[in-house]
Amino acid sequence: MNLVGRLFVAGQKEAVLCSWCLQGSHLILSAVEPGAGTWTLEVAQSDLTLGGFNEAQVVLKQGDLIFYGTRAEMENPLRLLGLERIHRALGKESTRVRSSVRRSYVWLSIFVAFLGLLGLAGWWVTERVVHVATGMTPVSWDVELGKAAWKTQQMGESEIKDPAIVKPVQEIVSLLSKPYQSQGYQFEVHVLDSPQVNAFAMPGGQMAVFTGLLKEAEGPDEVAGVLAHEIQHVVQRHGIRNIYSQLRWQMALAVLVGDGSSLHAQLLGSGAFLAGLSYGREMESEADREGLALLEKAGMPKGGMVKFFKKLDKQQGAVETYLKYLSTHPSSKDRISALEQQMTKAPGGGSVPVDWASLQTALGKGSKDAGRGRK
Ligand SMILES: [Zn+2]
């Protein structure tokens, strides 16, 4: 077997690949390239250390010469020389390197854990900032933002002006929003002529309901259920919270340097962001939960919300027009069963006092006669 290693000669930039053999305590090194030289190291007088990752190399140093050999190949022949110093060096070095490797792993783990904690702490701090900032933001900003966003949101659907259609929806919203009206929200209902089974709410109280949803609903309690959910998106200020979450790092900075004035501008620049309005699972669940409680407070039946969600869930995927509603409102079995659980605790009752029959008649006339007006 040809045993080789690398020899560094002082003053030379590159290592010389050498084969080695031991003759007594002399390590004879011959360059692998023929005629490139031979060297001799007196092992008894060399410094021996272990090098490389996991002490895989033996490093012998004497004068101008440093030789790197593979430890697996060199250790036994060197130990067989019976040189106590080398023996000790191999043993002692081994422990030192091993423990220093172990030490560096420990430090690396501590460092990684520290980075993780730092990220977590940053997240927690900014999460608190989002919460505090939302609390400090006046509701009038929601209203302003919602009105600006509403303008960008209109995608050409005609707005229905027929009072037989609009009034009942408005009535449901004003009954449901009663507890929040003193808080500065301005609830405004827009009924849009579109086959989509859809409804959404903008910050501050801009509400849009599509005729497709009104036709799909089998009663005013189902519409009330959807509207109660949407009103909760408004009063829980999910839009603002979403934007603040997106801006969390800028906000943390603004709070740190004590400059809140840039925030208002940033917020109002977010109207376009709201066009892609979507809420996370947590916010949807909150809107479900609080929406159901709101129905109860308003003396309206709670079953409609669940009934409507179930209907959407069943039709999910089958009908393309439902997709938009479903993509902004991931209606899942989990949400439905959570609502049902909440309802068994307090089933509730009541009614939705609106003229549903006239609304359906007006809708039934078809969108052509339904007094449309482009906004
Ligand atoms: Zn929702």
User: pLDDT tens digit string along 106-132?
Assistant: 888 888 888 888 888 888 887 888 888
List strands edge to edge, sheet with 38-42.
Answer: 38-42, 26-31, 16-23, 4-9, 65-70, 57-62, 47-51
Q: How far is the CA of 60 from the centre of ligand 1 (A)?
A: 72
Q: Calculate mean pLDDT across residues 198-222.
A: 90
* pLDDT at 315 (0 to 100): 63
Contact 208, 284 (CB under 8 A): no
* pLDDT at 343 (0 to 100): 80
Alpha carbon 237 to chain centroid, angstroms = 20
Q: How far is the CA of 225 from the centre of ligand 1 (A)?
A: 11
Q: Using 50, 70 and 90 to split pLDDT, how confident is the model at 251? A: low
Query: Which residues is 38 bridged to in the sheet?
Result: 30
Q: Using 50, 70 and 90 to split pLDDT, how confident is the model at 320? A: very low
Q: How far is the CA of 169 from the centre of ligand 1 (A)?
A: 18
Q: How far is the CA of 199 from the centre of ligand 1 (A)?
A: 9
Q: How far is the CA of 293 from the centre of ligand 1 (A)?
A: 15
Q: How far is the CA of 22 from the centre of ligand 1 (A)?
A: 80
> Tokens representing 368?
């052509």
Q: How far is the CA of 175 from the centre of ligand 1 (A)?
A: 19
* pLDDT at 368 (0 to 100): 41
pTM, rounded to two decimals = 0.62
* pLDDT at 222 (0 to 100): 93
Say which residue the tokens 């009541």 belong to.
Answer: 350
Q: Indicate the residue type of 75.
A: E
Q: How far is the CA of 233 from the centre of ligand 1 (A)?
A: 7
Domains and CATH numbers, the chain: 4-98 (2.30.29), 137-373 (no CATH)
